[in-house]
Amino acid sequence: MLQSTTVMNHSDLLNELAQQEPTRVRAWLETVWAKQPEAAAQFNWLGLFEIAIFSATRAAGAARQQESLAWANVAISIFQLLSDHNQKRAKSVLDKLMAMRVALIIKFGVVPNHEILDANDIVAWFYRELEMPYSDAAQEAARWPQTLDLNVIRKLRNIKTRLFIIERLLSHDRLPVHVAQALHTWISLKPNLP
């Protein structure tokens, strides 16, 4: 039986949660956030997020789609909770969440309008998170490594990280041709990015 965050230490609780069915973990998560906000604020949500990501991809590797998607929903729930309470933490896990979704799309296929398996959401995320237009990124990439502006280097590095995720979708032909062509323009920058 799942315990509250005040009854067990967080490490033991994480271990117990890792052994549970994902639907039970999600129910526990929602109960804790609703009824124990002080305890929830101290809990290792990033640890549980990592467990959910790992469990989703492990279940996908074993072709257990329902279990995989249920764990992915746990990860999404944690991300949403982090977004509501700690934007900086939420930003730090968004790339991992999208990488997990891409892995599941590759394994199970594209399902339009699905919370996890819609490839259009991944493309929209990529464009939404861009911190500069393509023309600026190409110009800055051409100056790399001579540029010393750390803010520009960080932005270019973020683009490259997200391009690795997008490139996996492209390499498995999971996007419509017109969308893929536009993204290939961005992919062409990758070798020049820090």
pLDDT (tens place) for every residue of the chain, 194 residues total: 455 444 457 788 899 999 999 999 999 998 988 888 777 778 888 899 999 999 999 999 999 999 999 999 999 999 988 887 777 777 778 999 999 999 999 999 999 999 999 999 999 999 999 999 999 999 999 988 887 789 999 999 999 999 999 999 999 999 999 999 999 999 999 999 99
Residue 154: predicted pLDDT: 93
Same domain, 20 and 44: yes
Residue 1: predicted pLDDT: 43
Same domain, 98 and 130: no
Same domain, 91 and 122: no
Same domain, 9 and 102: yes
Domain span at 64 = 1-109
Last residue of a domain, one of 47, 79, 109: 109
Q: At 24, list the tokens.
A: 């039970």
Number of domains, the chain: 2
Residue 6: predicted pLDDT: 47
Same domain, 4 and 78: yes
> Rounded to two decimals, what is the model's pTM?
0.88
Same domain, 80 and 122: no
Q: Smallest Cα–Cα separation from 78: which of 64, 88, 93?
A: 93
Cα distance between residue 56 and residue 72, in whole Å? 5
Last residue of a domain, one of 109, 143, 166: 109
What does the DSSP assignment read for the chain?
-PPPTTTS-HHHHHHHHHTS-HHHHHHHHHHHHHH-HHHHHHS-HHHHHHHHHHHHHHHHHTT-HHHHHHHHHHHHHHHHHHHHH-HHHHHHHHHHHHHHHHHHHHHH---TT-TTT-HHHHHHHHHHH-SS-HHHHHHHHHHTTT---HHHHHHHHHHHHHHHHHHHHHHTT-S-HHHHHHHHHHHTTGGG--
